[in-house]
Amino acid sequence: MRRSNDIEKYLGLPNLVGKKKRSSFQNLKDRIKKRVDSWSFRTLSQGGKEVFIKSVTARYRWQKGHGRKDNFRVRYHISNVNITMVVELIDENTRMWREDLIRTTFEPDDADKILRIPLASEAHPDMIFWRGEHSGEFAVRSTYKMLQNQSPTTYPIDSHNTAHSFYKQLWELQLPNKIKILAWKQRVALTAICPRCRTGTENLRHAFVGCPESEELWKELNLSWIRQSEFNECIEWLTWIFSNCTIAQRRSVICGIWVLWMDRNKNLHEGMAHSGKENARYVRYYLGELDGINERQISDAHKTDKWKALAQSTIKINFDAAFDDHNHQSASVVVVRNCKGEIKATKSYLHSMVTTTFEAEAIACYEAVLMGKEMGFSDILVEGDSRTIINKCMTKSRDKSHVSTYISNIHSEKSSFQNISFLFVRRSANQLAHIIATISLRNKEEIYLFDAVAGYATHQSELERPREPD
């Protein structure tokens, strides 16, 4: 056993720590930072970077208590030293924050942030959330993005700004991902001799520029000028091209590279060969087909749906929300109609301490479910124009996003109905709820009407009411 005469430290850590905790551990922080800064992140492979990121982030965990619910420890300098657990800030009877205690314990800004955190209607076990993803689940990609924002040197390309601009422009192109991924990888398995011309040594420059078949393709596409650049790395060549051409030409270049590589593989593995003219003709045909698909999608996106009544005795409840980012306020609206399209009830609520539009929509959906329960319905269809919220309501797995509280509450209320379902619709089929939410937030007013809507929404209500066939 090793013996140390230095009673102030043990295993490199201070043995006794007084009130000056920061100065006691500053030396340790400086040593860690010095060692980490000396590591060369750019020399790691993609797999190495993933292992590096996971090994670092694995050390960051929320500290919890033992065997209790809502029991995360308060790791923050506060005025009330008796508060050690988050559960002590919650009223267990009402499932609400103890606002007076929070405001006397924390700084005003921090108190407001805490009070904006929603609480579930029922206590549940602690969970760990990853804030880098909307889903709350850890992902390497979001960690990599966080590292990029902190330091450009974490990016694997020396010319960070230029490469970042190229990749952004690449992913914005209206092309299938399988084509863009080939340009993004820039690393492919090559053979000793070009399988198409069988005269040159195959490398990326020869495959995409030097081969006679490649030369003919670029000539047919009026892109012969892209062969003028001398480059060592493919990223240099593509970045130079993107900085000197239009969006349409970028699509043609990336699609041309994909067709050349596909033709090269067919030649190598299947013995099938096509001329540069044939490949150029295929590029034009393929891009034309994509443009046709995009036009149809755009046309479909502009179609307006209308509110539809149900053919059965199910009650339909529409919800929507309006959000004021500056004041952290929202208005939730619930419109209840029967299978004939007749208004049964209209209600709007005002909420404070709301952080995002996403949260405002989740609150509105929860209010719609509560409205159905309050009115004693056993069979309801909840309809809204927030696809993400609707999907979360239909998913049985535990949600870990920042609206998980409301989603959990919605799932808890499902047992109150014999049948409850959720349906996403476009905004045009949810106009009545949208109009009421917008005006309720603007006027800062709440309404609760039976068998009617507010006067300003009467016209829209009549437009959405089903008509008897002539």
Q: Do residues 216 and 323 share a domain?
A: no
Q: What is the CA radius of gyration of the chain?
A: 30
Residue 125 lies in a domain: no
Q: Do residues 381 and 255 share a domain?
A: no
Query: Where is the domain boundary, 301, 327, 361?
Result: 301
Q: Do residues 332 and 423 share a domain?
A: yes
Residue 102 lies in a domain: no
Average pLDDT of the segment spanning 381-394 = 93
Measured between alpha carbons, how far is 13 from 217 in angstroms, rounded to an integer?
A: 67
Please give the tally of structural domains in the chain.
2
Residue 470 lies in a domain: no
Q: Give pLDDT tens digits for 331-374.
A: 999 999 998 889 999 999 999 889 899 999 999 999 999 999 99
- The residue segments making up the domain with residue 412 are 315-464
Residue 390 lies in a domain: yes
Is the entire prediction scored with pTM above 0.75? no
Measured between alpha carbons, how far is 400 from 397 in angstroms, rounded to an integer?
A: 9
- Both structure tokens of 13: 């850590």
Decide if 421 contacts 382 (C-beta within 8 A).
yes
Share of the chain above pLDDT 70, in %: 76
Q: Do residues 371 and 340 share a domain?
A: yes
Measured between alpha carbons, how far is 340 from 335 in angstroms, rounded to an integer?
A: 14
What CATH code is carried by the domain that includes residue 354?
Answer: 3.30.420.10
Q: Give pLDDT tens digits for 221-241.
A: 999 898 877 776 778 888 888
Q: What is the pLDDT of residue 99?
A: 87
Which residues partner with 439 through β-bridges?
Answer: none
Average pLDDT of the segment spanning 10-37 = 65
Q: What is the mean pLDDT of the chain?
A: 79
Q: Give pLDDT tens digits for 278-288.
A: 999 999 999 88
Q: Do residues 190 and 326 share a domain?
A: no
Residue 74 lies in a domain: no
Query: Where is the domain boundary, 242, 275, 301?
Result: 301
Q: Do residues 320 and 459 share a domain?
A: yes
Residue 289 lies in a domain: yes
Q: Do residues 256 and 347 share a domain?
A: no
Residue 368 lies in a domain: yes
Q: Do residues 342 and 266 share a domain?
A: no
